[in-house]
Amino acid sequence: MIPSTFPDRATVARLTARMLLDIRAVHFNATEPFTFASGLQAPTYIDCRRLISFPRIRASLMDFLTCRVMEDAGFEAFDNVAGGETAGIPFAALVAERMALPMSYVRKKPKGYGRNARIEGAMSEGQHVLLVEDLTTDGGSKLSFVDAIRETGAQCAHTAVIFYYGIFPETEQRLAAHGVRLHYLCTWWDVLAEARRGEDFDAETLDAVESFLHAPREWTMRP
């Protein structure tokens, strides 16, 4: 069912942050930082995959995301909703259901056998495709998925995520240079603000997180 109400952005950001905290998708640890695939160390980690196990929260966030995309891009802007392997697949299916659109998904790389395809499902030349993922950090993985979609002859100028790090200023510029607009519900700044309001973590941990958010690469290089 297509949602018919559009909460304001500040309310959506606050509620999304609260839901992520409530299901313990947010992890803060300044004494034993998390290491990402890029080698970046951080006192923050988020696991949006947990959302699929919480139906009320999952439904609310998918309503929010559908509303955000339709409000920003238009009610008839898309012909297909594609999920990025693997985390984006369930969220793409849920958004596609709400938008009454076909759903497909994009592999990170070809299977290596059979059709050697990267696109699974029906996608055709000329379709306008919305790429859905769980989150984005610097936007890098999105570009590979977008390119795979475009190789079919379809168009992909929008990507929607639940969570956007919001701490690397080049991310949206990088996507925009590739002809892609980013839509999202909340950032680390929203989560930090809600964590302070709710006293979910001690003040020392939250101060360390804030220090990281202001200068993530410098924080990694600290002594």
Q: What is the pLDDT of residue 7?
A: 83
Q: If DSSP codes are grouped into helix, strand and coil, which group holds residue 83?
A: strand
At 33, which amino acid appears? P
Q: What is the pLDDT of residue 112?
A: 62
Per-position pLDDT tens, the chain of length 223: 666 667 899 999 999 999 999 999 999 998 899 987 777 889 999 999 999 999 999 999 999 999 999 999 999 999 999 999 999 999 999 999 999 999 999 999 887 665 668 999 999 999 999 999 999 988 778 899 999 999 999 999 999 999 999 998 899 999 999 999 999 999 999 999 999 999 889 999 999 999 999 998 888 777 5
Q: Where are the beta strands (DSSP E) in 85-147?
A: 103-106, 119-120, 128-136
Q: What is the pLDDT of residue 4?
A: 65
CATH number for the 9-220 domain, one of 3.30.428.10, 3.90.1150.10, 3.40.50.2020, 3.40.50.300?
Answer: 3.40.50.2020
> CA–CA separation, 206 vs 43, rounded Å?
9
Output the six-digit token pair for 164.
């956007």
In this prediction the pTM is: 0.93
Q: What is the pLDDT of residue 110?
A: 80
Q: If DSSP codes are grouped into helix, strand and coil, which group holds residue 46?
A: strand
At 174, which amino acid appears? R
CB-based contact 136:159 (threshold 8 Å): yes
Collect all residues with Cβ–Cβ distance below 8 Å to 169 and sequence separation of at least 6. none
| Cis amide leading into 86 (omega within 30) | yes
> CA–CA separation, 129 vs 152, rounded Å?
11
The per-residue pLDDT for range 123-137, each reduced to its tens digit, is 999 999 999 999 998
Q: What is the pLDDT of residue 21?
A: 98
